[in-house]
A and B are shown apart, each in its own frame.
Chain A
Amino acid sequence: MKNLLISAALGVVLASPAFAAEVDTIAILTPEQGSDFGWNQQGVDAAKAAAEATGVEIIVAEGLGYGDVRAPMRELAAEGADLLLAHASGYNTAGPEIAEETGVAVAIVDSPDALTPGKVADYTLSGHEGAYLAGRLAAKMTTTGTVGIVVSGEPPSWNAQSAGFAEGVQAENPDVKILYSVIGPAAYSDAAGGNRVTTSVIAAGADIIFGQGNGSSFGMIQAVESNKATDGSDVLFIDVIGDKSSLDKGHLLTSVMWDMTPVYTAMIEDLKADKYGTRSYAISLADDSVKLIKTPQVDDAAWEDVMALREQILSGEIKVEPKFDAAEVRALVTLAE
């Protein structure tokens, strides 16, 4: 009887989720260097900030490329990482496998269906609300009556922002034409392609470009600086995720900034509370993890209007739903003649 009671008590202890997991170290894996003024840099900076806020160590593994990351993931798990932030959609296959194999929690992107309690969580981030505001701003400031969206791929996060931007433009002024062009199937670092496509979109009439493209963004910016709009005015650029204002030569209109610190902080806290893998994480205007930056190129009156619109989104007066499918984006922009 005594043995039975001891066994039962041990069973309850082992099966209980009430005991918090100890999290000492997290690691982030990025495909490119964390110095790209965009996706990779924001990820690395946010992971460092979250680690500091929660008092854990961080290991940064940068520039791993878009190939197979199983080996570095195993290595980081062996080094004692309690959470692996697999910061690229190309890591979504390897991530859950490594979580299963090593027992270390893994966070992946753009995979809301992959949630596995204790092992796999998803962060499908989207600044669609910020992109909507950027669209309103672009529609207010265009002089040619045409704006362009140039993307280096069509991952869900970017589709949501492209759709948000297009909806913002249409809400502000339905007469503004929206041109849309994808550089290539996964042309994230194709700077020359970014330049070529953006040059073409400008030649077709756009004077404000909403560009999403990691390394290819630099080619887009070069095209914006190199070409005049069809009405002779300067072309302006709207960036996403990071802040390139330190590189700006007078053409950056704004950027839809992302701050992933709240996301990573929540993941660490959930892991400590044994709730990891039970929910997805998001960024939003409400906590400023999505926001627009004001540059000297922004008209003050237009900025005030946009900030007022921001309040309307926060109050629920304006609703911007994310649209993650590329077909939904195209449905919004094929109105161009």
Chain B
Amino acid sequence: MDGLLTEAFLSSLFTGAIVAAVPMLLAGLGEQMSEKAGVLNIGIEGMMLMGAYMGFLVAFKTDSLWLGFVGGILGGLMVAIAMAVLCVRLGLNQIVIGIGLTLGAEGLTALLHHFQFSRTYPRLPVPERLNIPGLTDLPVIGPSLFGRHLIVYLALLAVIILALLYRRTNLGMTLRAAGESPAALDVAGGNVLGIRVFAVLFTGAMAGLGGAYLANIGAGLFVPFMTGGAGFIGIVLAMLARGRPFWVLIGSLIFGAALSLTTALQVAGSNIPTDVIQMLPFAAVMLVLVLFGRRAKLPSALGAAYERGAR
């Protein structure tokens, strides 16, 4: 453990934590809105994967990372539309449909990748970074925290905007009412199904953007199943965050750091067996669930389809 707390260890830790945290942050923020509105969006992994594929495809074809992000949003929306129609409009089981959509997206994107890219494995050009003057040059944390692609800073901005939206706007109140007491919202003249559809589509857009980040910035290419459960971790983050976007941010950084720690400990020459080190992220999930899971407050109508007049 001689290498702990050295510049090499800390640089490795911070750099890896940010790279790993951003996709989970975007997915978690998206999932949070669905859950607030009463929809348990298990299909978020599929939305992320479709976003990764579409994001890469568009970026590759247009030579534009930003159009790639738009493609990623559209990819996530494509799966989210199916979720909205089947679960919100038709009232089908959210868990079953969510799993089905995820499996479907995995198969479809793997098939498309096979026909389009599996013989060439094209890669995107290196993304440009936004270096914040004065801060990027700070030792250890400078390049890690202040030399990132603009989308990273926009993701942080989204945290603030969503926090304000939930606390200060009617839309935030309506979303909460759709999840806590949809019947009351309906009686008050609110459109329960409409707001739930909006929330599911927003989730799809954010998950798709997270997937596109993973493909375009995180890897520079698309490979099948590349989300590797980041969407599911987003669900955990949203559940533990008790409706607060800042907690999603903190949670994603903790999970990102846990993932990065697996690398940093190895880089530091730790004598801990690799298998033990690799368990750290999962141990962190378990620990967080034990410490905070019981206090996770979920909306009363989460997972239940809403049908006007039904008891």
A residues at B contact (CB < 8 Å): 33, 35-37, 63, 148, 154, 179-182, 184-185, 189-197, 199-201, 203-205, 215, 218-219, 221-222, 225-226, 247, 326, 330, 333-337
Contact = CB atoms under 8 A, between A and B. Distances in A.
Most interface-central of B126, B215, B264, B274 (chain A CB within 10 A) = B274
Nearest to A41: B119
A315 B215 CA distance: 47
A195 B218 contact: yes
B304 interface: no
Nearest to B144: A203
B300 interface: no
Interface in B271-294: 271, 274-275, 278
Chain B contact residues, majority secondary structure:
helix
A197 B274 contact: no
Given A35-B118, A191-B226, A200 B260 contact: yes
Contact of A37 (B16, B20, B121, B260): B121
Interface stretch (B7-15, B170-178, B243-251): B7-15
Contact of B15 (A154, A200, A219): A200
A326 B275 CA distance: 10
Given A185-B278, A192-B219, A221 B123 contact: yes
Interface residues of B, number: 48
A199 B2 contact: no
Contact of A204 (B9, B19, B118, B121): B9
A196 B259 contact: yes
Contacts of A36: 118, 121
A204 B223 contact: no
Interface string B2-29: 1100101101110110011001000000
B263 interface: yes
Given A35-B119, A204-B267, A334-B271, A192 B11 contact: no
A148 B268 CA distance: 12
Contacts of B269: 179, 333-337
Contact of A218 (B6, B114, B221): B221
Interface in B227-259: 228, 259
A199 B19 CA distance: 9
B12 A201 contact: yes
Contact of B228 (A193, A199, A205): A193
B143 interface: yes
Contacts of A184: 262, 278
B136 interface: no
A212 to B, nearest CB: 14
5 contacts: A191-B219, A193-B228, A196-B19, A203-B11, A337-B6
A262 to B, nearest CB: 26
B226 A192 contact: yes
Nearest to A182: B274
Given A33-B114, A36-B121, A184-B278, A218 B223 contact: yes
Contacts of A180: 266-267
Given A191-B226, A195-B19, A195-B218, A201 B278 contact: no
B224 interface: yes
A196 B144 contact: no
A199 B15 contact: yes
Contacts of B23: 192
B223 A195 contact: no
B214 A192 contact: yes
B267 A222 contact: no
B123 A247 contact: yes
B91 interface: no
A204 B144 CA distance: 12
B120 to A, nearest CB: 8
- Give me the 4 closest cross-chain CB pairs, A-B, nearest first: A222-B220, A204-B8, A200-B12, A191-B219
B12 A215 contact: no
A336 B118 CA distance: 37
A176 B228 CA distance: 34
A193 B262 CA distance: 11
Contact of B263 (A154, A181, A335, A336): A181
Interface string B191-233: 0000000000000000000000011001111011110100000
A326 B8 CA distance: 23
A203 B15 CA distance: 7
Nearest to B230: A192
B11 A219 contact: no
A194 to B, nearest CB: 7
Contacts of A333: 269
Given A180-B266, A337-B3, A189 B219 contact: no
A205 B16 contact: no
A201 B263 contact: yes
A215 B266 contact: no
Interface string B119-146: 1010110110000000000000001100
B275 A189 contact: no
A5 B51 CA distance: 76
Contacts of A204: 8-9, 11-12, 264, 267
Contacts of A219: 218-221
Interface string B91-122: 00000000000000000000000100011010
